[in-house]
A and B are shown apart, each in its own frame.
Chain A
Amino acid sequence: MANAADETRPSPDALLKAAEKESRGKHKIFLGAAPGVGKTWEMLSAAHRGKREGIDVVVGVVETHGRAETEAQLAGLEVVPRRKVAYRERTLEEMDIDAILARRPALVLVDELAHTNAEGSRHPKRYLDVEELLAAGIDVYSTLNVQHVESLNDVVARITRIRVRETVPDRIVDAADEVELVDLTPADLIARLSEGKVYVRDQAQRALKHYFSPGNLTALRELALRRTAERVDEQMRSYMREHAIAGPWAAGERVIVCLDPGPGAANAVRAAKRSADALDAELIALYVETDRHAGLSEQERVRLAEAMRLAAQLGAEVATVPGRSVVEEIVAFARSRNATRVVVGKSRRSRWFELRHGSIVDELVRSNSGLAIEVAPSADTSPQAGPSDWLRDVPLSPGPYLEGALSTVLATALGVMIDRLIILPNISLVFVVPVLAAAVRHGLVPSLWVSGLSVLAYNFFFIPPLYLFIVADPANVVALFFFMVVAVVASALAARTRTQTESARREARTTAELYAFSRKIAGVIEADDLLWIVVTHLARLLKAEIVILMPEQGSLTTCAAFPPDSELSDADLAAARWSWDADRPAGRGTDTLPGGRWLFVPIRTSRSAVAIIGVLPQREGHALSAGERRLLEAVGNQAAVAVERVTLAEDIDRARLGAERERLRSAMLTSVSHDLRTPLASIIGSLSSLRSYGARYDAATREELLGTALGEAERLDRFVGNLLDMTRLDAGAIAPKREAVEVGDLVSTTLRRVQPLLKDHAVASIVSSGLPVLSLDFVLAEQALFNLLDNAAKYSPAGGHIEVEARPADGHVEIVVRDEGPGLAVEDLGRIFDKFYRAQEGDRRLAGTGLGLAIARGFVEVQGGTIVARNRAGRSGAEFVVSYPVG
């Protein structure tokens, strides 16, 4: 295992836990053995001490029960007024957790930790309120009687014969930073009681005398002392772990408790918790899902779910493994987890059941697994309610029975025919067919019915004396008996196969659903589509309204819903928000806000919580079954991963876009700095020469310098115009204003404007007559053509010919611009229209922006046209073909 160096290093887990505790508030519990030992008084004294030291103390809730000494203690402490809750014509007062959170004291006093809140409160239990306060970083002092500790609950009940309904999970007590035992000897407590100093509720008066007997009090005191001692022990060891002090604690001890749907499950879990605590072992609750699972009654399912929840509440890991044999799976699981002890609830099954199925305890003991087997007693003696499982499967409609009777008649007829034709030694075999058929098709009971009918028919038609229900020959009695046995066994086997098949089918359906779902969401790349698939799928699976909430700009908003008009009330939204903040389920059927109509479940990936799924079953008041919850969880997990994938994909797209934009920006910077500076250099050069030496130049030189400056300024103007056009194109701010445009008009108008740039070239325009009128934006079309002509002028040698031709072409009108320049290199063809791309990079680079052609393409395409660049056939030079659709 670990080497020496590791052992002297503080365990990371322990440090992590300590770090987590840092930001939480500190919880101190004043633990007492029984009411009246003075917990509240002690807590108030501690609060006063704190206040004197300058700590900001408020009273969240303290019950004085009219005791003068406690009342006096309360004086001088700030009390947060309680919230009034209307409940069945009465007004109850509960701790106002929101007021306390708003007040944000350093320390708050909360009496009676095990208290159950009035219906309609945020949490059903006061200890959950305390957890929220602690999570908010507020220190809490609270009081608790040992009888309310969950794992001691049934022990106390056995001692005092009073079962306390209000319990506090052990994890709350275990997680408390300090537990102070408020101790009083039984004699003193009884004395206080007789002085009337102990408050006991009216209902309890009856039990009072028995409860406060010296024997009980001693036992309770021992429990409290032991619980505190265990805690001290645990604290010491945790201290040793944090400070890496090697100690003699047992390493990796694990206790497994087997869950079953029986009434003793909860008891077994509690017993296992005590065992595990005493051994300082980890507790694992194991449920083996056999083929019998599918046939569990609703009551048994609920019991199982409750046992699982109790186990989780007691801090156990809950595991479910599928398998055929409970015992084999338990042993295998125990081996794989290195467990030493298995706790099993005492079976309350009938001897008959155990004869048929075998006792798990017996089998475990016989399995020779080396495990210590502990059998927890079953406390609850109420008779098992509801029909047993095999009876539950009985079809109540007459159909299967009629069918069975009919098939028996057919078998009889067949038997009679065979009997006439050939001599078969045992005709009874014919009757096995309808028996098996009934078992496979309808289950055990119809098949037994057919067995009975078959026996009668066989007797009546085939056993002498014929046509009488009398058996004369003793040999035939034996034959009839064995037929009966064969029929019953075959029925049972076939029926069992049937339930197994059905359970497998159900499992297969769930798996298929999940598979279909995962396939459906695998290809989705849009977040909206994905969420829609999730809500519709869940709505269908759970027969419920579904909403998905995700954080948007800091607040939780509905992103998808099915039906799409589902709306959440403010109270529902508050529950959803709580669920998001606490990363725990909330609403219907949970610990938090159970009064709500909706159930909210956070879905998360390994990285973070992604969304909240809200479920409102269509049947009013129906809570999700454990199976439905599991399905919800499975779908939710898949959805969470998918949502994360989509968001990641969006992030990647954004990053890619950002990179592209960055590349363009740097290209633009290069271009701008070059193209702005070149004309400016000419302008400044010309003007400064004129100013300094103007008088010495002759008129022609002056004219030339001025011409240069003006020409360069105009070029600069075109460049700035191009930049603006490009910006408009990039921003998608160009909406073509279409009008009827005559191509001849377009060409001549453009040529007129471009004239100054083409003065060194010979320009020819050829416009076919009878061209149709086009629907274009004149300004955009003109600018596109202008840029092409500008480009042609740039790349043509002086004196070269530039041609503009407009011609019809198969539903389009083509405008072709040809030059006599060097033409286009093959590698340029594809990129010539890219922004800031320029043929002939480097020193030979011509003045220009690398934007002209990009703008031309942008303007042509925004009007529904296309543009192509190619080399002229048969001679040097490039040609650009703009093609606009007619109509």
Chain B
Amino acid sequence: MLLDLGLPDVDGLGLIGRIRALGPVPIVVLSSRGDEAAKVAALDSGADDYVTKPFGAEELMARLRAALRHRLQEQGAGRVFTSDDLSVDLVRRLVRRGTEDIKLSPKEYDILEQLAIHAGKVLTHKHLLREVWRDESVDPQYLRVYVRQLRQKIEADPATPRHVLTEPGVGYRLV
């Protein structure tokens, strides 16, 4: 489902909630730049991802593929996430860069696990706090500290991360 939030007379957010209630249809939202609050709200009410207008066909297709894949993943959970030299084994809780095992603290792993389960999808700060800390009101600054530590451990060059990407004003995405 591709949904334009800029529809003139439909409450896009309400629509997302209603579709989500019907079943696990992947939803990708179209939004405009500078409207980060709307993106976060859409993601929090159940959208899988968003694309900022204007966009190229390639980008849109990549996002749609990621959303579909993510839905499949959810159904058949317990897979291994791999990207370049990084692999995350969600069943055995093993993280590996190339051939090297990486030791992560429990919180670091929990964050990476969430990002891996929803690989390719943006996770809002709120989502991560809820799933990892079980408390949305925790200061997001903790999240940032752990993400930095995570990058130090899994990125080849932590100054220019390739896997854990920041989506300004929205959240993080694992690619």
Interface residues of A (CB under 8 A from B): 713, 717, 721, 724-725, 728, 737, 739-740, 742, 744-745, 747-749, 751-752, 765, 767, 773, 777-779, 782
A-B contact pairs, 11 of them (CB 8 A): A724-B34, A740-B141, A744-B148, A747-B159, A748-B161, A749-B166, A751-B160, A778-B169, A779-B34, A779-B36, A779-B168
B161 CB, min distance to chain A CBs, angstroms: 6
Contact A721 B140, beta carbon cutoff 8 Å: no
Which of the listed residues B37, B54, B139, B159 has the most CB atoms from chain A within 10 Å of its own CB? B159
Taking a contact as CB atoms closer than 8 A, the residue among B36, B140, B141, B160 that contacts A748 in the complex is: B160
Write the B95-106 contact mask toward A (1 if CB under 8 angstroms, else 0): 000000000000
B65 is an interface residue with CB less than 8 A from chain A: no
B19 CB, min distance to chain A CBs, angstroms: 28
Contact B160 A740, beta carbon cutoff 8 Å: no
Contact A778 B144, beta carbon cutoff 8 Å: no
A726 CB, min distance to chain B CBs, angstroms: 12
Roughly how many angstroms separate A518 CA and B104 CA in the complex, as a whole number? 77
CB nearest neighbor in B for A782 = B168
Roughly how many angstroms separate A101 CA and B159 CA in the complex, as a whole number? 84
Chain B residues whose C-beta falls within 8 Å of the C-beta of A725 in the assembled complex: 34
Contact B148 A742, beta carbon cutoff 8 Å: yes
Contact A740 B166, beta carbon cutoff 8 Å: no
B92 is an interface residue with CB less than 8 A from chain A: no
Chain B residues whose C-beta falls within 8 Å of the C-beta of A713 in the assembled complex: 54
Taking a contact as CB atoms closer than 8 A, the residue among B36, B158, B165 that contacts A752 in the complex is: B165
Contact B169 A745, beta carbon cutoff 8 Å: no
Contact A745 B160, beta carbon cutoff 8 Å: no
Taking a contact as CB atoms closer than 8 A, the residue among A717, A721, A745 that contacts B166 in the complex is: A745
CB nearest neighbor in B for A717 = B54
B33 is an interface residue with CB less than 8 A from chain A: yes
Chain A residues whose C-beta falls within 8 Å of the C-beta of B144 in the assembled complex: 740, 742, 745, 773
A-B contact count (CB 8 A): 49
Contact B34 A773, beta carbon cutoff 8 Å: no
Roughly how many angstroms separate A778 CA and B141 CA in the complex, as a whole number? 13
Taking a contact as CB atoms closer than 8 A, the residue among B37, B158, B165 that contacts A749 in the complex is: B165
Roughly how many angstroms separate A249 CA and B49 CA in the complex, as a whole number? 99
Roughly how many angstroms separate A747 CA and B165 CA in the complex, as a whole number? 12
Which of the listed residues A747, A749, A751 has the most CB atoms from chain B within 10 Å of its own CB? A749
A816 CB, min distance to chain B CBs, angstroms: 16
Chain B residues whose C-beta falls within 8 Å of the C-beta of A767 in the assembled complex: 159
Taking a contact as CB atoms closer than 8 A, the residue among A740, A744, A778 that contacts B168 in the complex is: A778
Which residues in chain B, 23-69, are within 8 Å of chain A measured between CB atoms?
33-34, 36-37, 54
Chain B residues whose C-beta falls within 8 Å of the C-beta of A742 in the assembled complex: 144, 148
Which residues in chain B, 146-170, are within 8 Å of chain A measured between CB atoms?
147-148, 158-161, 165-166, 168-169
Known contacts A737-B37, A773-B141; 17 additional CB pairs below 8 A are: A724-B34, A725-B34, A737-B36, A739-B140, A742-B144, A742-B148, A744-B158, A745-B148, A748-B159, A748-B160, A749-B166, A751-B160, A752-B165, A765-B159, A765-B160, A778-B168, A779-B169
Chain A residues whose C-beta falls within 8 Å of the C-beta of B147 in the assembled complex: 745
Roughly how many angstroms separate A778 CA and B39 CA in the complex, as a whole number? 15
Write the B113-153 contact mask toward A (1 if CB under 8 angstroms, else 0): 00000000000000000000000000111001001100000
Chain B residues whose C-beta falls within 8 Å of the C-beta of A773 in the assembled complex: 141, 144
Roughly how many angstroms separate A740 CA and B168 CA in the complex, as a whole number? 12
Chain B residues whose C-beta falls within 8 Å of the C-beta of A747 in the assembled complex: 159
Contact A740 B140, beta carbon cutoff 8 Å: yes
Roughly how many angstroms separate A742 CA and B147 CA in the complex, as a whole number? 10
Roughly how many angstroms separate A747 CA and B166 CA in the complex, as a whole number? 11
CB nearest neighbor in B for A778 = B168
